[in-house]
């Protein structure tokens, strides 16, 4: 269920970026895709580790993947608004 919600949110964000204009460069999309994939994977790590009763691995794995993911998505959005 979490992946469904994250997929929908990612799809809406990508559609919004697409509707902002067609003058976005290729690296904006690369940053967005890498950041979104890292963020979604971080939730997989979190949920999987919690189900296996490894709470420390859940938190550390989540933070290890979500922080760079959020930074990359934020950079892609900042590049869209700076153009």
- What is the DSSP track for 29-66? HHHHHHHHHHHHHHHHHHHHHHHTT-HHHHHHHHHHHH
Place of tokens 């895709």: 33
How many angstroms separate the most distant Cα atoms in the chain? 47
Q: And the tokens for 59?
A: 């938190």
Q: Identify whether the C-beta of residue 50 lies closer than 8 Å to the C-beta of residue 9.
A: no
Residue 52: predicted pLDDT: 93
What pTM, to 2 d.p., does this model score? Answer: 0.78
Q: Identify whether the C-beta of residue 39 lies closer than 8 Å to the C-beta of residue 65.
A: yes
**Domain-wise residue ranges, the chain:** 25-82
Which residues of the chain, if any, have pLDDT below 70? 21-22, 83
């Amino acid at each position: 269920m979490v992946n469904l919600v994250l997929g929908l949110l990612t799809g809406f964000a990508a559609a919004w970026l697409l509707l902002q204009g067609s003058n976005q460069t290729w690296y904006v999309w690369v940053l967005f895709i890498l950041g979104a994939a890292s963020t979604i994977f971080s939730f997989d790590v979190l949920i999987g580790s919690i189900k296996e009763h490894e709470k420390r691995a859940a938190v550390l794995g989540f933070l290890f993947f979500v922080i760079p993911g959020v930074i990359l998505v934020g950079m892609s959005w900042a590049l869209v608004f700076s153009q």
